[in-house]
Amino acid sequence: MTTQEFPATSGSVEQRAPFWRRRTGAVVTSAALAAAVFGGVTGGVVGALNAPSAAVAQASGPVAVNASTTQDVSAVAARVLPSVVQVNVVTAQGQGLGSGVVLTADGRILTNDHVVSGARQVTVTLSDGRTVDASVVGTDPSSDLAVVQAAGVSGLTPATFGDSDQVKIGDQVVAIGSPEGLRGTVTSGIVSALDRTVTVPGTTTGRRGSSVSYQAIQTDASINPGNSGGPLVNPAGQVVGINSAIYSPASAGGEAGSVGIGFAIPSNQVQQIVNRLS
Protein backbone atom coordinates (compact mmCIF):
# COMPACT_ATOMS: atom_id res chain seq x y z
CA MET A 1 0.00 0.00 0.00
CA THR A 2 1.54 3.30 -1.10
CA THR A 3 0.12 6.45 0.45
CA GLN A 4 0.30 9.89 -1.09
CA GLU A 5 -0.62 13.30 0.31
CA PHE A 6 -2.44 15.61 -2.11
CA PRO A 7 -3.00 19.35 -1.71
CA ALA A 8 -6.49 20.50 -0.80
CA THR A 9 -8.67 21.63 -3.66
CA SER A 10 -12.11 23.11 -3.90
CA GLY A 11 -15.18 20.95 -4.41
CA SER A 12 -17.64 18.81 -2.55
CA VAL A 13 -16.80 15.86 -0.38
CA GLU A 14 -17.86 13.49 -3.16
CA GLN A 15 -15.49 15.19 -5.61
CA ARG A 16 -12.46 15.05 -3.34
CA ALA A 17 -10.12 12.09 -3.01
CA PRO A 18 -8.85 11.04 0.43
CA PHE A 19 -5.34 12.22 1.16
CA TRP A 20 -2.52 11.86 3.62
CA ARG A 21 -1.64 14.73 5.92
CA ARG A 22 1.24 15.48 8.18
CA ARG A 23 0.29 16.19 11.74
CA THR A 24 1.34 19.76 12.50
CA GLY A 25 -1.42 21.59 14.31
CA ALA A 26 -2.94 25.01 14.49
CA VAL A 27 -2.61 27.24 17.53
CA VAL A 28 -5.34 26.89 20.18
CA THR A 29 -7.02 29.97 21.64
CA SER A 30 -8.48 29.95 25.15
CA ALA A 31 -11.97 29.72 23.70
CA ALA A 32 -11.66 27.38 20.75
CA LEU A 33 -9.39 25.55 18.38
CA ALA A 34 -8.34 28.37 16.06
CA ALA A 35 -7.28 27.75 12.48
CA ALA A 36 -3.72 28.97 12.04
CA VAL A 37 -2.27 30.16 8.77
CA PHE A 38 0.69 27.82 9.13
CA GLY A 39 0.03 24.18 8.21
CA GLY A 40 3.52 22.81 8.69
CA VAL A 41 3.96 21.36 5.21
CA THR A 42 5.61 24.27 3.37
CA GLY A 43 8.98 25.90 3.85
CA GLY A 44 12.07 24.43 5.41
CA VAL A 45 15.24 24.97 7.36
CA VAL A 46 18.28 22.77 6.89
CA GLY A 47 20.32 23.25 10.03
CA ALA A 48 23.93 22.48 10.78
CA LEU A 49 24.65 18.80 11.32
CA ASN A 50 27.77 19.11 13.46
CA ALA A 51 26.34 19.97 16.87
CA PRO A 52 27.31 17.99 20.02
CA SER A 53 25.95 14.47 20.26
CA ALA A 54 22.52 13.81 21.75
CA ALA A 55 22.58 10.15 22.73
CA VAL A 56 19.30 8.24 22.58
CA ALA A 57 18.57 5.88 25.46
CA GLN A 58 18.32 2.39 23.99
CA ALA A 59 16.77 -0.60 25.69
CA SER A 60 19.44 -3.21 26.35
CA GLY A 61 17.21 -6.18 25.63
CA PRO A 62 13.66 -7.50 25.41
CA VAL A 63 11.34 -6.30 28.16
CA ALA A 64 8.87 -8.73 29.67
CA VAL A 65 5.37 -7.24 29.69
CA ASN A 66 2.59 -8.97 31.55
CA ALA A 67 -1.11 -8.65 30.83
CA SER A 68 -1.76 -6.12 33.58
CA THR A 69 1.03 -3.87 32.31
CA THR A 70 -0.33 -4.10 28.78
CA GLN A 71 -3.70 -2.83 29.93
CA ASP A 72 -2.38 -0.06 32.18
CA VAL A 73 -2.24 2.93 29.86
CA SER A 74 -2.12 5.27 32.84
CA ALA A 75 1.19 3.76 33.96
CA VAL A 76 2.65 4.21 30.48
CA ALA A 77 1.43 7.79 30.37
CA ALA A 78 2.92 8.59 33.77
CA ARG A 79 6.28 7.27 32.64
CA VAL A 80 6.42 8.98 29.24
CA LEU A 81 4.62 12.31 29.69
CA PRO A 82 7.65 14.02 31.32
CA SER A 83 9.61 13.24 28.13
CA VAL A 84 7.12 14.84 25.72
CA VAL A 85 7.05 18.55 24.82
CA GLN A 86 5.08 20.90 22.61
CA VAL A 87 7.07 22.58 19.83
CA ASN A 88 5.78 26.06 18.92
CA VAL A 89 6.90 27.81 15.74
CA VAL A 90 6.49 31.15 13.98
CA THR A 91 6.97 31.27 10.21
CA ALA A 92 6.38 33.82 7.48
CA GLN A 93 2.90 32.31 7.09
CA GLY A 94 1.87 32.49 10.76
CA GLN A 95 2.04 30.23 13.80
CA GLY A 96 1.91 26.47 14.21
CA LEU A 97 2.83 23.71 16.58
CA GLY A 98 3.82 20.10 16.87
CA SER A 99 5.19 17.73 19.47
CA GLY A 100 8.65 16.56 20.45
CA VAL A 101 10.52 13.89 22.40
CA VAL A 102 13.24 14.73 24.93
CA LEU A 103 16.58 13.15 24.00
CA THR A 104 18.87 14.58 26.70
CA ALA A 105 18.54 16.15 30.14
CA ASP A 106 19.99 19.42 28.82
CA GLY A 107 17.28 19.96 26.24
CA ARG A 108 17.98 18.14 22.98
CA ILE A 109 14.56 17.38 21.50
CA LEU A 110 13.48 15.28 18.52
CA THR A 111 10.58 16.33 16.30
CA ASN A 112 9.52 16.17 12.64
CA ASP A 113 11.24 18.28 10.01
CA HIS A 114 7.90 19.57 8.78
CA VAL A 115 7.13 20.91 12.27
CA VAL A 116 10.10 23.33 12.22
CA SER A 117 10.38 23.82 8.46
CA GLY A 118 10.57 27.52 7.64
CA ALA A 119 10.56 28.50 11.33
CA ARG A 120 11.73 32.02 12.17
CA GLN A 121 11.20 31.42 15.87
CA VAL A 122 10.95 28.20 17.88
CA THR A 123 9.90 27.74 21.51
CA VAL A 124 9.28 24.58 23.48
CA THR A 125 6.63 24.06 26.15
CA LEU A 126 7.90 21.50 28.64
CA SER A 127 5.83 18.96 30.54
CA ASP A 128 5.86 21.20 33.62
CA GLY A 129 4.28 24.06 31.66
CA ARG A 130 7.37 26.22 31.19
CA THR A 131 7.93 27.67 27.72
CA VAL A 132 11.55 28.30 26.72
CA ASP A 133 13.34 29.46 23.60
CA ALA A 134 14.75 26.82 21.29
CA SER A 135 16.89 26.64 18.16
CA VAL A 136 17.09 24.15 15.31
CA VAL A 137 20.21 21.99 15.63
CA GLY A 138 19.77 19.94 12.47
CA THR A 139 17.14 18.67 10.09
CA ASP A 140 16.87 15.82 7.63
CA PRO A 141 14.02 16.57 5.20
CA SER A 142 14.53 13.22 3.48
CA SER A 143 13.41 11.39 6.63
CA ASP A 144 11.14 14.15 8.01
CA LEU A 145 13.13 14.35 11.25
CA ALA A 146 14.73 17.27 13.10
CA VAL A 147 16.52 18.01 16.37
CA VAL A 148 16.10 21.25 18.32
CA GLN A 149 17.84 22.56 21.42
CA ALA A 150 15.86 24.10 24.29
CA ALA A 151 17.76 26.98 25.89
CA GLY A 152 18.77 27.16 29.54
CA VAL A 153 17.23 23.91 30.75
CA SER A 154 18.54 20.99 32.77
CA GLY A 155 17.21 17.92 34.52
CA LEU A 156 14.74 16.96 31.79
CA THR A 157 13.65 13.33 31.49
CA PRO A 158 14.99 11.69 28.32
CA ALA A 159 12.75 9.17 26.61
CA THR A 160 13.83 5.56 26.28
CA PHE A 161 13.80 4.16 22.77
CA GLY A 162 12.80 0.56 22.06
CA ASP A 163 13.51 -1.80 19.17
CA SER A 164 10.93 -1.19 16.44
CA ASP A 165 11.96 -4.45 14.76
CA GLN A 166 10.30 -6.23 17.69
CA VAL A 167 6.94 -4.52 17.11
CA LYS A 168 4.20 -6.89 15.94
CA ILE A 169 0.80 -6.36 14.40
CA GLY A 170 -1.75 -6.28 17.22
CA ASP A 171 0.66 -4.91 19.83
CA GLN A 172 -0.81 -2.23 22.06
CA VAL A 173 0.65 1.26 21.68
CA VAL A 174 0.12 4.71 23.17
CA ALA A 175 0.45 8.04 21.32
CA ILE A 176 1.29 11.21 23.26
CA GLY A 177 1.44 14.79 22.01
CA SER A 178 -0.36 18.10 21.50
CA PRO A 179 -3.21 17.53 19.03
CA GLU A 180 -4.70 20.93 18.16
CA GLY A 181 -2.52 22.39 20.93
CA LEU A 182 -4.03 20.23 23.68
CA ARG A 183 -0.70 19.53 25.37
CA GLY A 184 -0.16 16.18 27.09
CA THR A 185 -2.94 14.32 25.29
CA VAL A 186 -2.74 10.53 25.57
CA THR A 187 -4.47 8.09 23.22
CA SER A 188 -4.15 4.33 22.90
CA GLY A 189 -4.68 1.68 20.27
CA ILE A 190 -2.89 -1.15 18.51
CA VAL A 191 -0.37 -1.61 15.73
CA SER A 192 -2.61 -2.09 12.71
CA ALA A 193 0.08 -2.88 10.13
CA LEU A 194 3.82 -2.70 9.53
CA ASP A 195 5.99 -1.51 6.64
CA ARG A 196 3.36 0.75 5.13
CA THR A 197 4.93 2.95 2.43
CA VAL A 198 3.96 6.54 3.26
CA THR A 199 4.75 9.34 0.80
CA VAL A 200 4.27 13.00 1.72
CA PRO A 201 5.51 16.27 0.17
CA GLY A 202 9.04 17.08 1.27
CA THR A 203 10.38 20.45 2.34
CA THR A 204 13.38 22.45 1.30
CA THR A 205 14.47 25.94 2.22
CA GLY A 206 11.40 28.14 1.98
CA ARG A 207 9.33 25.94 -0.34
CA ARG A 208 8.06 22.45 -1.04
CA GLY A 209 10.69 19.97 -2.07
CA SER A 210 10.67 16.47 -3.47
CA SER A 211 8.40 13.94 -1.82
CA VAL A 212 9.50 11.98 1.24
CA SER A 213 8.79 8.26 1.58
CA TYR A 214 9.37 5.89 4.47
CA GLN A 215 8.18 2.52 5.72
CA ALA A 216 5.85 3.31 8.60
CA ILE A 217 4.16 1.68 11.54
CA GLN A 218 0.39 1.98 11.08
CA THR A 219 -1.73 2.47 14.20
CA ASP A 220 -5.35 3.13 15.11
CA ALA A 221 -4.33 5.21 18.14
CA SER A 222 -5.91 8.63 17.60
CA ILE A 223 -3.41 11.03 15.97
CA ASN A 224 -4.45 14.55 14.95
CA PRO A 225 -2.85 17.86 13.84
CA GLY A 226 -0.24 18.76 16.46
CA ASN A 227 0.77 15.15 17.18
CA SER A 228 3.61 15.43 14.64
CA GLY A 229 6.93 14.65 16.29
CA GLY A 230 5.40 13.03 19.34
CA PRO A 231 6.10 9.45 20.45
CA LEU A 232 4.33 6.21 19.76
CA VAL A 233 5.26 4.00 22.71
CA ASN A 234 4.93 0.35 23.68
CA PRO A 235 3.49 -0.97 26.98
CA ALA A 236 6.95 -0.72 28.58
CA GLY A 237 7.01 3.02 27.91
CA GLN A 238 9.63 2.76 25.17
CA VAL A 239 9.40 4.90 22.05
CA VAL A 240 8.91 2.64 19.02
CA GLY A 241 7.91 5.35 16.54
CA ILE A 242 7.61 9.09 15.91
CA ASN A 243 4.09 10.08 14.86
CA SER A 244 4.13 11.88 11.53
CA ALA A 245 1.04 11.47 9.33
CA ILE A 246 -2.54 10.24 9.13
CA TYR A 247 -5.00 9.22 6.47
CA SER A 248 -7.40 12.16 6.44
CA PRO A 249 -10.44 12.42 4.15
CA ALA A 250 -11.11 16.15 4.00
CA SER A 251 -14.14 18.11 2.95
CA ALA A 252 -14.02 21.41 1.12
CA GLY A 253 -12.91 24.21 3.39
CA GLY A 254 -11.56 22.03 6.18
CA GLU A 255 -9.65 18.97 7.31
CA ALA A 256 -11.12 15.89 8.93
CA GLY A 257 -9.63 14.66 12.16
CA SER A 258 -8.35 11.21 12.94
CA VAL A 259 -10.17 8.32 11.29
CA GLY A 260 -8.08 5.70 13.06
CA ILE A 261 -5.32 5.34 10.46
CA GLY A 262 -2.09 6.96 11.63
CA PHE A 263 1.56 6.46 10.78
CA ALA A 264 4.81 6.64 12.73
CA ILE A 265 8.45 6.55 11.65
CA PRO A 266 10.00 3.41 13.24
CA SER A 267 12.37 4.06 16.14
CA ASN A 268 15.28 2.11 14.65
CA GLN A 269 15.24 4.36 11.60
CA VAL A 270 14.87 7.41 13.84
CA GLN A 271 17.92 6.57 15.94
CA GLN A 272 20.13 6.25 12.87
CA ILE A 273 19.12 9.73 11.71
CA VAL A 274 19.39 11.32 15.16
CA ASN A 275 22.98 10.17 15.48
CA ARG A 276 23.76 12.18 12.33
CA LEU A 277 21.74 15.25 13.25
CA SER A 278 22.98 15.81 16.79
Q: Catalytic residue positions?
A: 114, 144, 228
Report the distance separating Cα 116 and Cα 98, nearest Å. Answer: 8
C-alpha pair distances (Å), 261 with each of 191, 193, 242: 10, 10, 15
Main-chain dihedrals φ then ψ at residue 133, nearest 5 degrees: -65, 155
Q: Which residues contact 181 (CB under 8 A, 6 or more apart)?
A: 25, 26, 27, 28, 33, 86, 97, 226
Please tell me whether residue 73 adopts helix, strand or coil conformation: helix
Report the distance separating Cα 275 and Cα 262, nearest Å. Answer: 26
Report the distance separating Cα 137 and Cα 53, nearest Å. Answer: 11
